[in-house]
Structure 1
Amino acid sequence: MGEEQGAGQAPVERDPAIRIVEYEPGWPAEAARELERVGAVLEDVAVRLDHVGSTAVPGLAAKPIVDLQVSVAALQPQSSYVEPLEALGYLFVPFATSPEYLFFGRPSERPRTHHLHVCVAGSFEEHRHLAFRDLLRADPAAAARYEAVKRESARLHPEDRVAYMAGKEGVIREIEALALGRS
Structure 2
Amino acid sequence: MQPIEICAWRPEWPTQFAVKAKLIRSVLDAHAMRIDHIGSTAIRGLAAKPIIDIQISVADLQSVEVLRERMTAIGYVWRPSNADLTKRYFREAPGNERTHVHVRGRGSWSEQWSLLFRDYMRAHAHEHAPYAELKRALAARYQNDRVALHRGQVRTPLDNYPSCRSLGGPNRLAAGPVRRLTARATASASTLRPVPGRPAPCRACIPSRPDFQNKRPRTNRGLFFGS
Q: TM-score, normalised by structure 1?
A: 0.84
> Corresponding residue for 2:136?
151
> Corresponding residue for 2:10?
24
* Alpha-carbon distance change, 94 to 176 in structure 1, aligned in 2, over 3 angstroms: farther
> Corresponding residue for 2:19?
33
The Cα of 1:100 is off from its aligned counterpart by 2.1
> Corresponding residue for 2:117?
132
State which structure, 1 or 2, has the greater radius of gyration over its C-alpha atoms. 2
Letter in 1 for 2:20: E
> Corresponding residue for 1:51?
37
1:120 aligned onto 2:96 = no
The Cα of 1:143 is off from its aligned counterpart by 2.3
Letter in 1 for 2:140: R
The Cα of 1:63 is off from its aligned counterpart by 0.6
Distance 2:16 2:75 in 1: 16
Q: TM-score, normalised by structure 2?
A: 0.68
Structure 2: state its 5+ residue gaps: 159-175, 190-227
Q: Deviations over 1:107-142 (max 9, x none)?
A: 2x4886111111111111211110000001001122
Distance 1:73 1:67 in 2: 20
Q: Which residue, 127, 141, 166 being the options, matches 2:126? A: 141
RMSD, aligned α-carbons: 1.9
Distance 2:28 2:84 in 1: 22
> Corresponding residue for 2:168?
none
The Cα of 1:103 is off from its aligned counterpart by 1.3
1:174 aligned onto 2:179 = yes
Structure with more of its chain in strand, by fraction: 1
| Identical-residue share of aligned pairs (%) | 35
The Cα of 1:148 is off from its aligned counterpart by 1.0
Q: Which residue, 82, 89, 96 being the options, matches 1:96? A: 82
> Corresponding residue for 2:170?
none
Which of 121-130 and 87-96 deviates more? 87-96
* Alpha-carbon distance change, 111 to 143 in structure 1, aligned in 2, over 3 angstroms: farther
Q: Deviations over 1:44-63 (max 9, x none)?
A: 30110110100000001111
Contact 2:91 2:99 in 1 (8 A): yes
The Cα of 1:176 is off from its aligned counterpart by 3.8
Distance 2:120 2:71 in 1: 29
